[in-house]
Structure 1
């Protein structure tokens, strides 16, 4: 069972994007604020993302999220990513909105702010945390897109295609194959039936942006000093996990944890026995860093 969000719009780069707010049930103690970033092709109410937001709300967090341009209920060419700078700017927009909106809540203490991102959203969360480190209490990444297995020849081809046909859907992607991402049949079925997800072939500009986003975040590893939890799916075929150990080594953070699971890319779409472990790890890490 998932909780339903309040729906509004948020302006980023002159684009009115769909935004969402989940609040804890009446009477529940509010422990903190969380911003959730979705992955490529998904959106804030996509089942896997909604599972995370609902889990956080049930544990006392006020949760904010936004559909990136070209995703979900936001305007734009479906599944189009227009550059790393735009991804970071959009990520900053919802984080700043969360700070401003939550500051108006009646509370005797300043609520800690956390960033939570899945897949591409994990890279966005880290990029935002780097720019707002004084405001961020911690970052949680679920199967983060820190690296992609793309050779130099493929990169060169993508660069040329992005110059010639940037928006043409040309590139097959494992990120659109539900059987390779979600093990629980019921949850996989929910993902398959979602009508707002972009499930077509990747556009060259989107593919190049994803690659450049991983380059961008890897170059920033030594500057990311916020507390973080990196949750890795051992059987992931969507992202390359090999860089996660490098991140653990290079980040100067004094509070860093990596956990791995015998899971597919969609960590919150595992069968109940493993799912309960993953959900508990996520919630407990956040709650242990709240007042």
Structure 2
């Protein structure tokens, strides 16, 4: 059995390319070098330092360094709460911050993984698309590859949303069911999220709804382009994101190293919305996958080292 390690928690604000301050947090093993780097991509309306704290601490206690970034309009970052004006900005912000950490001298020879939950699963897949060779793997937890049919507006409403989102992007009028009630099985967790002032709880803003629909449709149509090693996890009773598309991702992705786990009776919130016995199962699977991947030789690191050595030889001639 793995020995738990002490954790050091740190936080900071960074400035993105648009001059906005974004809140970043990290959980680091205290007395040992991390086994690998894990970059957390949080879900819609969520944030890192409170909502993902238990997740990050589990991984840090298992020896992994965990990093999170509150997207623009989310958590403690600047921006109108709940507004995703352009999903491409979210991807660029995450890519810049995450790669800055990866490129630090002490991290260059460490493996790097994305952990995306719900909308964060879409973020992780789009980060992979932006830099296909950069990431060593991804854990996709109930990923938003498609919005579940129960949550998806009909074709007429989609047309109306598209037109209105251009005229009044900040309006909070999109009709949806209460996602908190649909996503999280444990009532105490629902109350914690409702009490968390950094979690957005209003109706989806018009532009946000349009952007989520746009990127989930894009991802659904390009699942075969996914090529990195991945573990996809989905609750059988998920009513927020569509588990059939997680199955399709597993079937059609071009990755040679891919695993899927479906959990009977579990809902959407697999990382913190289930009873403790279910969370233990999910995290056991996640940590086992991370440990197996980070223990073995890494082809990306070997390739980069080879290229670096070739550059040195070339420069010396």
TM-score (norm 2): 0.84
The answer as to 2:41 corresponding to 1:37 is yes
Deviation at 1:243, TM superposition (A): 1.5
Deviation at 1:29, TM superposition (A): 4.7
The answer as to 2:274 corresponding to 1:275 is no
Matches within 5 A, 1:1-291: 5-14=9-18, 15-24=20-29, 26-47=30-51, 49-101=52-104, 103-104=105-106, 110-148=109-147, 149=149, 150=152, 151-174=154-177, 176-261=178-263, 262-268=265-271, 269-291=273-295
Question: Contact 1:33–1:98 (CA<8 Å) still a contact in 2?
Answer: no
The count of residues paired between Structure 1 and Structure 2 equals 283
Deviation at 1:221, TM superposition (A): 1.6
Question: Contact 1:46–1:197 (CA<8 Å) still a contact in 2?
Answer: no
Task: For CA contacts below 8 A with separation 6 or more, give which structure has more relative contact order.
Answer: 1
- Please give the secondary structure, in 2, of the residue aligned with 1:5: strand
For 2:195 and 2:227, how far apart are their aligned partners in 1?
Answer: 39
For 1:130 and 1:50, how far apart are their aligned partners in 2?
Answer: 27
Q: Which has the larger radius of gyration?
A: 2
Unaligned residue ranges in structure 1 (runs of 5+): none
Deviation at 1:247, TM superposition (A): 1.2
Deviation at 1:187, TM superposition (A): 3.0
Question: Contact 2:72–2:90 (CA<8 Å) still a contact in 1?
Answer: no
Unaligned residue ranges in structure 2 (runs of 5+): 1-5, 296-317
For 1:267 and 1:69, how far apart are their aligned partners in 2?
Answer: 24
Deviation at 1:256, TM superposition (A): 0.6
TM-score (norm 1): 0.91
Deviation at 1:192, TM superposition (A): 2.4
Question: Contact 1:33–1:114 (CA<8 Å) still a contact in 2?
Answer: yes
Structure 1 segments, 4+ long, off by >4 Å, are none
Question: Contact 1:84–1:212 (CA<8 Å) still a contact in 2?
Answer: no
Deviation at 1:181, TM superposition (A): 1.7
Question: Contact 1:68–1:74 (CA<8 Å) still a contact in 2?
Answer: yes
| RMSD between aligned residues | 1.9
For 1:4 and 1:76, how far apart are their aligned partners in 2?
Answer: 28
